[in-house]
Structure 1
């Protein structure tokens, strides 16, 4: 009885795909910027909320009309507060799209934006600057008007500082993120290529296993026993329509 014919070797593309998939599995895990993204979302919400709260309440009278009360919110007290909140919100999408040195550069920019956003709140909390003159100018009081009472609110200023601090921490984390853990092969990061590669690997294993199982069903095929496919490859193969559990693809 003639010995069973040795299956012909598969094209190098299958071998290369298998090696690439194994290299991907043993490569460092992608470091996801979930922490910085959450901090940026909290920072944007804090700055936006602070811009809607009243920072200074001013009561004035001019001797001709009834006394007036002016409520200066954060958007008026520091005009850039709302735009900075929107910038931090938009930076979330940029962080998720950026990789490597570009993500670290974005972290530096975010840290600078956070430092700028902290200035008005810090000045308010530490009583730096002439609050009364600034309030009169922003309230656009006439020259004859007199300030009867001026009250500052510490909570909105503190909220803006905390939001700026969260954004600054997010920027530092992004700036310190290693490039090697923030980038993988573009081919295997794409689900389309990943599923196609998984389907090819499954088809190659089934093609090798079928002749051996038909000739010597009781003996394992050493040429195929290269270890189980990774869980990711199995799921990608299923997504591509290939059944990795079907040992005889010709039997339908």
Structure 2
């Protein structure tokens, strides 16, 4: 009797749903961080005492230089959400959560404490004789960064809670040996195999029927064993 593989019988869409949700959240987070890195966060006004005051615009990639690399990490995590499983997926989830926290730090600092003139002068790489006399901050990019950080944290939660059976690529991409091992673990030593396992064994050049013990005949001997009988059919 054929044994139904519970993982294989589960709809493919249901198995991929957590990875798809996580990928969407990661994509939103990466897009938010990348967009905010291109927007102006701080406008600084400086004076060097020699000429007219200067107006400097500092975008997110300058004020918070980590935004672009963090966005790239989230893009890489999209592929990892579909490719890994088990503890590897937990590591990816932890990394994504760390990215969300790191991305939120400069936005929270800017929204809560404003832009420090000394920080603005240092980030703008002004000469020593120049000083920043005033700063204006843009709240929109910082809020967008926080939204991206929240999306990254939500993706981390989804990845962390993804069941092992629903993580990674479909089992059809596994090697035949890996699928047989997984089937054996799920069957807890049951010697019955699925039709798919039989085909995997044939693909590997193995004869799946060799593992089965042949049924004895009426006299108690294995089929083909005639050593115990003489030509007349009686025992020696």
User: Same fold by TM-score, threshold 0.5 exceeded?
Assistant: yes
CA contact (8 A) 1:62 1:144 kept: yes
Aligned residue number for residue 181 of structure 1: 166
Q: Is 2:125 the partner of 1:160? A: no
CA contact (8 A) 1:57 1:150 kept: yes
Aligned residue number for residue 25 of structure 1: 9
Correspondence 1:1-252 to 2 at 5 A:
19-20=3-4, 24-25=8-9, 29-32=14-17, 33-127=19-113, 131-182=116-167, 186=171, 189-190=172-173
Q: Which aligned segments of 4 or more residues in structure 1 are displaced greater than 4 angstroms?
A: 20-23, 26-29
Q: Please report the TM-score for the alignment, with normalisation by the length of structure 2.
A: 0.66
Tell me, in whole angstroms, the C-alpha distance in 2 between the residues paired with 1:144 and 1:125: 29
Tell me, in whole angstroms, the C-alpha distance in 1 between the residues paired with 2:169 and 2:8: 8
Number of residue equivalences: 179
Tell me, in whole angstroms, the C-alpha distance in 1 between the residues paired with 2:164 and 2:156: 15
Any gaps of 5 or more consecutive residues in structure 2? 177-194, 200-236
Per-residue deviation, residues 91-138 of structure 1 (Å, max 9, x unmatched):
10111111233212211111111111110001111117x621110111
Per-residue deviation, residues 195-239 of structure 1 (Å, max 9, x unmatched):
x96xx9xxxxxxxxxxxxxxxxxxxxxxxxxxxxxxxxxxxxxxx
Q: Please report the TM-score for the alignment, with normalisation by the length of structure 1.
A: 0.62
Tell me, in whole angstroms, the C-alpha distance in 1 between the residues paired with 2:26 and 2:101: 14
CA contact (8 A) 1:54 1:74 kept: yes
Tell me, in whole angstroms, the C-alpha distance in 2 between the residues paired with 1:160 and 1:81: 9
Tell me, in whole angstroms, the C-alpha distance in 1 between the residues paired with 2:122 and 2:6: 67
Q: Note the aligned Cα RMSD (angstroms).
A: 3.1
